[in-house]
């Protein structure tokens, strides 16, 4: 793990401590108590998806932008302001502490962590600001779906990165670029 990229370390932490957080699962495994709690869990899930995708060797920038757009599309939702149950408030406080402890050793992880914090503070303007700060880093990230494929490496990359049939979408080389096709 010492040689792992910062994004991999942070994603492993997310998967272990935050992916199935109490706000998302609820105390009895039946989910959030309120619509606002379910909404926040959904928004946090999107931020976690951005982080997990960033940890991949060839992140799918389109998938990350899908999550960014989800956050932007719901920025005016009343669920940001609706009341949470007392249990959800306690769960949200615990999630904030876990996000604070998320290892952030790269600019990208720092920006994703800021996004997660803005979501838990429930301030849409801070969420928009965090997304604006994150976008340039996502744009610069080496991405599977915009990588130029050097000659002679197509077969090797197909063996390594091609998704099996039946999954949601698959990758093919068209010309000298990888292209994603939905199944």
CB distance 34 to 122 below 8 Å: no
Range of lowest pLDDT (39-48, 50-59, 126-135, 174-183): 174-183
| pLDDT tens digits along 8-30 | 999 999 999 888 887 888 777 77
Tokens 């899930």, residue located: 45
Q: Using alpha carbons, select from 50, 111, 39, 21 the residue that is nearest to residue 75.
A: 39
| pLDDT tens digits along 118-144 | 999 999 999 999 999 999 998 887 654
**pLDDT reading at 83 higher than 90:** yes
* Buried b or exposed e, range 150-183, using 16+ CB within 10 angstroms: eeeeeeebeeeeeeeeeeeeebeeeeeebeeeee
**pLDDT reading at 149 higher than 50:** no
Confidence at residue 26, expressed as pLDDT on a 0 to 100 scale: 73
pTM for this predicted structure? 0.76
CB distance 118 to 80 below 8 Å: no
CB-based contacts of 183: which residues, under 8 Å, 6+ apart?
165, 166, 167, 168, 169, 170
- Tell me the C-alpha to C-alpha distance, in Å, between residue 27 and each of 14, 40, 59, 116, 159: 19, 16, 33, 22, 43
Range of lowest pLDDT (96-110, 120-134, 163-177): 163-177
């Amino acid at each position: 793990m010492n040689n792992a990229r910062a994004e991999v370390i942070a994603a492993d932490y997310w998967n272990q401590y935050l992916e199935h957080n109490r706000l998302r699962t609820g105390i009895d495994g039946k989910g959030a108590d309120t619509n606002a709690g379910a909404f926040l869990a959904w928004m946090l899930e999107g931020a976690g998806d951005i982080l997990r995708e960033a940890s991949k060797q060839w992140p799918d920038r389109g998938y990350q932008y899908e999550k960014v757009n989800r956050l932007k599309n719901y920025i005016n939702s009343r669920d940001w302001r609706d009341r949470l149950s007392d249990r959800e408030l306690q769960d949200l406080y615990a999630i904030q502490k876990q996000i604070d402890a998320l290892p952030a050793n790269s600019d990208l992880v720092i920006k994703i962590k800021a996004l997660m914090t803005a979501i838990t503070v429930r301030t849409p303007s801070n969420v928009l600001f965090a997304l604006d700060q994150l976008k340039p880093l996502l744009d610069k990230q080496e991405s599977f779906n915009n990588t130029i494929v050097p000659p002679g490496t197509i077969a090797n990359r197909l063996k390594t990165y091609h998704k099996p049939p039946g999954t949601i979408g698959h990758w093919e080389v068209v010309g000298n670029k990888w292209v994603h096709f939905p199944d």
